[in-house]
């Protein structure tokens, strides 16, 4: 029997916490908020204190990808929806390159308090650029399974998944496709992710919320990632690269990252590319240790 998905975007948090053995802290209240900017950006605010952590997700995902990791950290945080993703507005120019994404947040409320900045995949590259643009705002940087030295090939699994249909007959069809690509630690986890990442169209079909799935050219890599080496070299804070052992990066990518970015170290976790969805508690443990 399929467990129904409620309409409230926060109604699934207790289920998710229980699935991962987390006692969800009552004080870690979460709410949806708008970020004051011309770009109509949205974010999830966890806790009532100034955020200790700021999270930027990867291409085709949204702020809810961090839910379990944040609940395990049990600390105030802000998780943003990148432009063109989640509840944030789509860009008219469809420019979702890392530097453009970073500029969208550089003078917003998320840079008004010092925090640890965490970014996954495309969000990791944007996080490097954001830490350079707003050096006063972040005391440490965590980059997850991405490097400016990575070149995505045509057989990249994320690129192939994003190049799918623009509309589906049901959310179940999207879940089936995601599972067939090997995404998610369980089918139920994929169901939750698809709920957060899709909307119902006027004709009863379902589409992804993010702009990438609706573009004619849906590779979503934008300009060469190598442009991010320049801001990376200017960073003056500790940087942690977290690799998935079945992720996108090779030992050569890791070595280049360590050699070219000051104060950088690296660890590997037993998972694929979407570290925060496959091993969210191990990720929280690594972030907590790095932040201490």
User: Cβ(128)–Cβ(104) under 8 Å?
Assistant: no
- DSSP letter at 44 equals E
Give the Cα separation of 285 and 289 in Å (integer): 6
Tokens matching residue 90? 């789509």
Pairing status of strand 41-46 against strand 53-56: unpaired
Three-class SS state of 280: helix
Out of 76, 88, 97, 121, pick the active-site residue: 121
Active site residue 186: no
Distance spanning both ends of the chain, measured CA to CA = 44
33 neighbors 63 (Cβ within 8 angstroms):
no
* Catalytic, out of 67, 72, 81, 145: 145
Residue 8: active-site member: no
* Class of residue 259 by CB neighbours under 10 A (exposed 0-12, middle 13-18, buried 19+): exposed
- Respond yes or no: is residue 253 known to be catalytic: no
The two structure tokens encoding residue 8: 């409230």
DSSP string, 210-249: SGGGGSSS-----S-GGGGHHHHHT--S-EEEEEETTSS-
Residues catalogued as catalytic: 121, 145, 273
């Amino acid at each position: 029997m399929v467990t129904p998905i409620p309409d409230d975007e926060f109604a699934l948090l207790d289920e998710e916490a229980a699935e991962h053995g987390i006692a969800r802290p009552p004080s870690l209240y979460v709410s949806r908020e708008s970020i004051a900017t011309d770009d109509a950006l949205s974010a999830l605010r966890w806790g009532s204190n100034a955020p200790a952590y700021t999270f930027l997700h990867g291409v085709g995902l949204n702020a809810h990808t961090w839910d379990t990791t944040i609940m395990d950290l049990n600390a105030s945080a802000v998780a943003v929806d990148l432009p063109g993703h989640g509840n944030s507005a789509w860009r008219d120019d469809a420019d979702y390159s890392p530097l453009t994404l970073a500029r969208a947040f550089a003078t917003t409320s998320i840079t008004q308090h010092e925090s640890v900045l965490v970014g996954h995949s495309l969000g990791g590259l944007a996080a490097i650029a954001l830490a350079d643009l707003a050096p006063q705002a972040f005391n440490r940087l965590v980059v997850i399974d991405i490097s400016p030295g990575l070149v995505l090939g045509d057989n990249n699994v994320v690129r192939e998944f994003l190049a799918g249909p623009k509309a589906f007959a049901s959310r179940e069809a999207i879940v089936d496709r995601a599972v067939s690509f090997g995404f998610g630690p369980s089918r139920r986890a994929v169901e939750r992710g698809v709920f957060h990442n899709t909307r119902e169209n006027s004709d009863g079909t379902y589409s992804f919320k993010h702009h990438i799935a609706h573009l004619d050219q849906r590779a979503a890599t934008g300009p060469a990632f190598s442009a991010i080496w320049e801001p990376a070299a200017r960073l003056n804070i500790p940087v942690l690269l977290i690799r998935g052992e079945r992720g996108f990066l090779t030992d050569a990518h890791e070595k280049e990252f360590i050699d070219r970015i000051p104060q950088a170290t690296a660890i590997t976790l037993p998972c694929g590319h979407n570290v925060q969805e496959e091993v969210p508690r191990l990720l929280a443990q690594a972030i907590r240790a790095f932040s201490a």
